[in-house]
């Protein structure tokens, strides 16, 4: 089955950009909302652990304070990734988190639900 790219956007209000960036890139902060355990090797290879199942990813793009992209190392296609972008909205000055990911069409609804739940946890950790 072919994976399709999709994007989501979540408003984070006036959260600190530095705090959000830390939550998207630092292992201990990623453990607060994204995975049960996160290990880092060589500053770009991450191991994300959920329910004792480990998945490895490489940080393939890093634009400090604005964008980070991780590529799962188990994927057959290196064009599949998940990405976080921090955007500041012009009119309100509010921060938005844009997430790009890939899923099979049959799994897309579940994947979106998972991201919504994870970002809700992220917001709670950020105090928003």
For the chain, domain boundaries: 3-126
Residues 97 and 17 sit within 8 Å (Cβ to Cβ): no
For residue 78, what pLDDT is reported? Answer: 67
Predicted local confidence at residue 110, as pLDDT: 96
| Domain 3-126, CATH homologous superfamily name and number | START domain (3.30.530.20)
Render pLDDT for 9-37 as a digit per residue (tens, 0 to 9): 999 998 999 999 999 999 999 999 999 99
Q: What is the pTM of this model?
A: 0.92
Collect the ranges in the chain with pLDDT lower than 70.
1, 75-78
pLDDT recorded at residue 14: 87
| DSSP classification of residue 79 | T
> Of 53, 54, 19, whose CA–CA distance to 128 is shortest?
19
Q: Is 91 exposed, middle or buried (0-12, 13-18, 19+ CB in 10 A)?
A: exposed
Q: What are the DSSP E strand ranges found in the chain?
A: 3-13, 37-41, 45-50, 53-63, 67-72, 82-88, 95-104
């Amino acid at each position: 089955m072919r994976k399709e790219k999709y994007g989501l956007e979540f408003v984070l209000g006036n959260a600190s950009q530095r705090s959000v960036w830390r939550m998207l890139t630092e292992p201990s902060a990623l453990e607060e909302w994204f995975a049960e355990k996160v290990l880092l090797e060589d500053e770009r290879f991450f191991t994300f652990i959920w329910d004792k199942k480990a998945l490895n990813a490489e940080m393939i793009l890093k634009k400090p304070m604005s964008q980070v992209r991780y590529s799962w190392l188990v994927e057959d296609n290196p064009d599949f990734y998940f990405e976080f972008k921090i955007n500041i909205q012009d009119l309100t000055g509010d921060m938005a988190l844009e997430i790009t990911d890939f899923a099979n069409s049959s799994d897309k609804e579940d994947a979106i639900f998972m991201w919504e739940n994870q970002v809700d946890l992220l917001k709670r950790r950020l105090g928003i």
